[in-house]
């Protein structure tokens, strides 16, 4: 991957150099805040290309961050739903065990009613 990046950068540099050399026509450029009286057309093309790449990368990073946040929110919502279901199941199991324990105590008391009457405690 590193070699592909190096080759890509060399090709991009070569293309940029060829672009500047091929378009040698000078022209005046108004840059909103200042005016350049004479600038080579190739250099202007190169600057606009670089500015476009930088702005595109910055916007792309922000858009990817928005998508990444949305993916994280969806994942967390799924985790919350799974945990809620687990809590509901645990509560239902605990309630069933408590009901079974209560029935068992009532059954034991019903089976031996004599012992309760004779036992003063």
- For 9-21, the pLDDT digits (tens) are 899 888 888 888 8
Q: Is the pLDDT of residue 6 over 60?
A: yes
> For residue 74, what are the domain limits?
2-110
- As beta bridge partners, residue 53 has none
Number of domains in the chain: 1
Q: Is the pLDDT of residue 92 over 80?
A: yes
Give the angle 65-53-31 at the CA atoms, nearest 5°. 120
Q: Is the pLDDT of residue 7 over 90?
A: yes
Question: Does residue 101 lie within any of the structural domains?
Answer: yes
Residue-wise pLDDT tens digits, 15-51 = 888 888 888 888 888 878 888 888 888 888 888 888 9
Question: Does residue 37 lie within any of the structural domains?
Answer: yes
- Bridge-based pairing of strands 35-40 and 26-30 is antiparallel
């Amino acid at each position: 991957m590193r070699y592909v990046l190096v080759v890509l950068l060399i090709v991009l540099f070569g293309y940029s150099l060829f672009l500047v050399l091929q378009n040698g026509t000078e022209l005046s450029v108004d840059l909103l805040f200042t005016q350049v009286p004479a600038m080579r057309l190739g250099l202007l093309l190169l600057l606009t290309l670089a500015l476009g790449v930088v702005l595109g990368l910055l916007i792309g990073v922000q858009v990817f961050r928005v998508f990444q946040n949305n993916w994280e929110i969806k994942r967390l919502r799924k985790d919350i739903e799974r945990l809620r279901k687990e809590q509901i199941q645990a509560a239902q199991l605990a309630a069933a065990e408590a009901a079974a324990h209560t029935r068992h105590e009532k059954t034991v008391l019903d089976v031996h009613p004599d012992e309760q009457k004779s036992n003063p405690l």
